[in-house]
Structures are given as structure tokens and as C-alpha cells.
Amino acid sequence: MKRLARRCIPQRRQSGGNRNSLDDRRGAHSGNSMRRHSRSFVFSAAALILLTCVLWGCVGLRSELYREETAHRYQAACKQYKGGDYEAARSGFESVIALDSDYGPAHAALGNLALIREDYPGALAHYRAAVAADPELEADLQPLILVALAHKARAPLQKAGVTLGRIYPLIMADRTVDVEALLEKDIPLQLLARDTMGITPGKLNEMQAKIAETADPMKGTARYRLFLGYLLFFGETEDTLAAVLVESAVSQAMKKDQQQAFVVLGQLYERQSKLNAAVDALLAAVDAGLPLAEVAHHLARIYRVDIESIRSPQDTSAGDMAPPEPMRIEVATHLSPPPGLDLGAVSEPRDVQPTVSTGSRNTF
């Protein structure tokens, strides 16, 4: 039994020692694994940092390459433009914009090409894009922008094929019926009358002189008489005859023509110092449907007041309980003001009588 006991005791010790050794091996293996994972993490982080640096370097290199490519394409397109190959130049400048949409000189060049082919809205769009991208271009492009705007406004005349240059020989030859046929087209008469691009100054003066000699307010269609009156009005010659011609046609004119005719008539009366008649004509334009804002500056000029002093009765607050009063311009005259109204102490250099326009909802 003792021998057996001695044999068993070492066996127990040996068994316990094995378990401890196994635990030690497991701990060592775990430590090695953690060290390997740590090294792997450090290596991954370093690789990520290195990759980021490389990418940033590539971005800068890519941007530099883009700039060089953009400049190269722009210079090539400029050579084509100067050589008269407009289609190739247009494609070249458009490729520049495709690379860099904020390349101002390319937009300006495309604006020039659009102006050459008489695409005035397109020219304006490119000129404005050029100025937005590079404000320093504005001084050089402003004259071209004005040209494009002027031609864009002439679009209705170009579409109808009617210009003063075409009308000139007809008027000089007393071919009234042919002139009336052209004026029946859907064109703004005022735009045509002041369109000096289609005629030389000498011919325009000859035509105005011919009208001053032969115009008859009793003959011709309403649009024909309005047109003759507008030609004299914009030429600032024969204001009296111009007013008579417009007066003779305004009541027969269509709505839009009538509105503009009343405005011109008001300006003609103002030139002749018929200020009350001028106000009446301008208010008649409002009664015919023209927004008050479109004649407010004329009224302000006549009464020597600020434009803001002129407001429509419709602008009154809806919360006001009292009924709206007729519109008035605050101005002092030599007459005593109506009872209960304080018109201030604004001095009026002109002898303007307060005018009530008969039949108008706007009163001064």
C-alpha cells in the first residue's frame, strides 16, 4: 500500500504540472498572436497614410496636367479663331469649357463667335459667364455686351424683315400703301422708329424731312400715322406735327399700341411745356392698361418729386378701413392747398396747375 501510495503521489504532481505547462503555452501563443495583430495594424495604418500622401500628390499633379491641357487647347482654338476657322475654334473653346467650366477667356471667345453668327442670346450668355468667372474681363466685354443687347432687342424686326433701311425708299417715293403693308406685321412701332442700325444718319434725316413736309394726320392707317409721329419724336424734330399725328391715331390704335402712343404723347406735351396735358396723356396710358410703374418716372420728372412719391391706390394696406383716395403727388404750387391737406414746403420751379384727369381713376 505504501508503495502504491508513493507511486500515486508523483503521478498527481506530474498531472498538475502538465496542466500548468499547457496554460503557459496557451498564454505564450496568445501573446504572440496579439503582437502579430499589433504589427499588422501598424503596417496597415502606415500603408494607409502612405497611400493618402500619394493620392494627394496625384491630385496636385492631375490639376497641373489639367491646367496645362486647358491652356494648350485654348491657345490652339485661338489660332483657329484668328485664322477664320470658326467652327473648329468653337469646338476647341467648348472643349476648354468641358475641362474647366470657369475658364473666363474661353467663354468670352465663345461669346464673340456667337456674336459673329448673330446668336445674340448665346453671346450674352457666354459674356455673362465670362464676367462671372473672371470679373477683370468686364471692362473689355462691356461694349460687346451692349452690342449684343441692342441686337437682341431688334429680334422682332429681324424676324419680320422690316428695317428703316427698307422703309426709306418707300417713304421717299410716296408709296404709302407699301409702307402700311410692312407696318401691319407684328412689330413694335417704337422699336422700328428708333432703330438706327438699319439706316445711315443721312438717309434718316432725309426721311424725317420728307415726313415733315408731306405727312397728313387725316390720311393713312392708325399704325402708319403713329409710326410717322414716332419718327419725328425720336428725331426731336417737328414736335407739334408729331403730337398731331399721334393724337389723330391714338383713339383708333389697338391696346398695346394705344398704351405706348399715350406715353409718347405725354412726352411730346412735356417738351412743349404743356404739363397738364402731359399728365393727362400719361394717366390715359395707365387707364388703357399700362402699369403705373412704367410711367412713374415721367410723372416724377414733371412734378419734380421722387418716384417713390407716386404710388398706386392698389398699394394701400388692405387693413385700412377708410376707402382709398385718388393718387396724389405731394407738390407745392402757387395755389392754396385743399383744406385739411399738408403738402409740405417743396418749392416748384415750374408753374404747374394741379390737374384732374377726366375719366381717370388717378388724380393729381
Q: What is the pLDDT of residues 21-58, one digit of tens each?
A: 544 555 544 555 555 555 554 455 555 555 555 444 44
Domain edges within the chain:
62-153, 162-312
Q: Using one digit for the tens of pLDDT, what is the confidence trace for 198-230?
A: 799 999 999 999 999 999 999 999 999 999 999
Please tell me the predicted confidence (pLDDT) of residue 40: 56
Please tell me the predicted confidence (pLDDT) of residue 108: 93
Q: Using one digit for the tens of pLDDT, what is the confidence trace for 314-356?
A: 444 444 444 334 344 443 333 333 344 333 433 333 343 433 3
- CATH no. of 62-153: 1.25.40.10
What distance lies between CA 350 and its chain's CA centroid? Answer: 38
- Mean of all residue pLDDT scores within the chain: 76
Inter-residue contact 268 to 243 (CB < 8 Å)? yes
62-153 against 162-312: fold identical:
yes
Q: What is the pTM of this model?
A: 0.58
Amino acid at position 280, single letter: D
- Counting residues of the chain whose pLDDT is more than 90, the rounded percentage is 46
The CATH class, in words, for 162-312 is mainly alpha
Higher-confidence residue of 357 and 144: namely: 144
Q: Using one digit for the tens of pLDDT, what is the confidence trace for 113-168?
A: 998 888 888 999 999 999 999 999 999 999 999 888 888 888 888 888 899 999 99
Q: Biggest alpha carbon distance in the chain?
A: 158
Inter-residue contact 348 to 332 (CB < 8 Å)? yes
Inter-residue contact 139 to 174 (CB < 8 Å)? no
Q: Using one digit for the tens of pLDDT, what is the confidence trace for 58-70?
A: 434 445 556 788 8
